[in-house]
């Protein structure tokens, strides 16, 4: 395969892997597994009694580490959560022991049990809940096809003298060819409604000048009026567009004949737009009513090398 990448897969049943010998298919060390009965459990007993001869604290620490190893065998990524839970519960135990009265101890115990139940519920049942909800909602692919409009553009450029350049541009876009946006569900579920757009044809007119300070520095500036294809009736929060006015300026520095550095800034005023839609029924679909105030500030830079 061209591109320098090659992937080979082996047929199932013809590879040798040590992992199944060490753990079950799900990665867990079960209580009835050989590795638990013949390996882990005897080592834990021997380590516990060996450390208990020296110190009871050491024996408790050995059991704690063995427990972490047991759960880590299933998923090492879950150990930080387990250690955090142990530390939090240990702190709750200290606070309960230092509580001034029974009511305070009861409140701390309730908080500790609640925290454990919330943690258990989230990590044990959140996927089940999400899967149940997703099962009730239709899922599947969605396709859409949009034919982009034609664009007609006329540009003008001239250099008046060694100091000044003038350029202009007029562009027409046939947006009226797009009346609706339609989406088709490829899987089960109800049909998706089309979104009316009824775009209108739009114009964009711009002009600008460049001024050479010297052989190294050049200043640029320009303005533009950009008509939006979105009409007031069909404007939605998905596309709250309106007519725009552009004001731009920049500077270029020519390091030599090959290297040039440009920086520029543009501020775009967007006309206020409004929406007042209910998709035919306020009672069934609700009402979207409001105004949109937008503006844009663009800062850019460029490094070019000619060869």
DSSP H or E run through 107 = helix 102-136
Q: What is the pLDDT of residues 129-148, one digit of tens each?
A: 777 776 666 666 788 888 89
Span 212-239, average pLDDT: 91
Q: Which residues contact 144 (CB under 8 A, 6 or more apart)?
A: 181, 182, 183, 184
Instruction: Give bridge partners of residue 95 from the DSSP assignment.
Output: none
Among 3-7, 136-140, 227-231, 253-257, the least confident range: 3-7
In this structure, of 41-55, 208-222, 293-307, the range with the lowest mean pLDDT score is 41-55
Structural domains of the chain in order of their starting residue, each with its CATH number? 19-136 (no CATH), 142-273+288-305 (2.40.160.40)
Distances from the Cα of 105 to the Cα of 92, 102, 111, 113, 132, angstroms: 10, 5, 10, 12, 38
Q: Average pLDDT for residues 219-226, to the nearest whole number?
A: 96
Block residue for tokens 């142990």:
86
pLDDT given for residue 266 in this prediction: 96
Query: pLDDT digit string (tens) for 85-95?
Result: 888 888 988 98
82-134 residue pLDDT tens:
888 888 888 988 988 888 888 888 988 998 898 888 888 887 777 777 777 76
Give the chain's mean pLDDT: 82
Alpha-carbon distances of 295 from 53, 235, 237, 246, rounded to whole Å: 76, 17, 16, 10
């Amino acid at each position: 395969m061209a591109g320098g990448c090659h992937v080979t897969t082996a047929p199932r049943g013809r590879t040798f892997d040590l992992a199944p010998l060490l753990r079950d298919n799900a990665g867990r060390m079960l209580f009835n597994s050989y590795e638990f009965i013949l390996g882990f459990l005897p080592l834990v007993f021997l380590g516990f009694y060996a450390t208990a001869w020296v110190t009871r604290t050491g024996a408790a620490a050995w059991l704690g580490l063995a427990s972490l190893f047991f759960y880590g065998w299933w998923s090492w990524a879950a150990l930080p959560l387990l250690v955090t839970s142990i530390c939090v519960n240990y702190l709750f135990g200290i606070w309960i022991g230092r509580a001034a009265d029974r009511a305070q101890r009861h409140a701390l115990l309730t908080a500790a049990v609640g925290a454990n139940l919330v943690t258990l519920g989230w990590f044990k049942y959140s996927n089940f809940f999400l899967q149940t909800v997703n099962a009730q909602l239709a899922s599947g692919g969605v396709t859409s096809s949009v034919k982009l409009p034609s664009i007609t553009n006329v540009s003008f450029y001239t250099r008046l003298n060694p100091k000044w350049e003038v350029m202009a541009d007029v562009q027409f876009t046939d947006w009226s060819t797009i009346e609706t946006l339609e989406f088709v569900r490829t899987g089960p579920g109800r049909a998706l409604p089309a979104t009316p757009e009824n775009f209108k044809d739009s114009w964009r007119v711009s002009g600008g000048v460049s001024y050479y300070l010297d052989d190294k520095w050049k200043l640029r500036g320009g303005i533009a009026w950009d008509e939006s294809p979105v009409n007031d009736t069909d404007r939605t929060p998905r596309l709250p567009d309106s007519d725009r006015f552009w004001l731009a300026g920049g500077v270029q520095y020519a390091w030599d004949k090959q290297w040039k550095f440009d920086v520029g800034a543009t501020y775009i005023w967007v006309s206020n737009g409004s929406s007042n839609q209910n998709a035919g029924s306020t009672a069934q679909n609700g009402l979207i009513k409001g105004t949109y105030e937008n503006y844009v500030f663009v800062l850019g830079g460029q490094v070019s090398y000619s060869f």
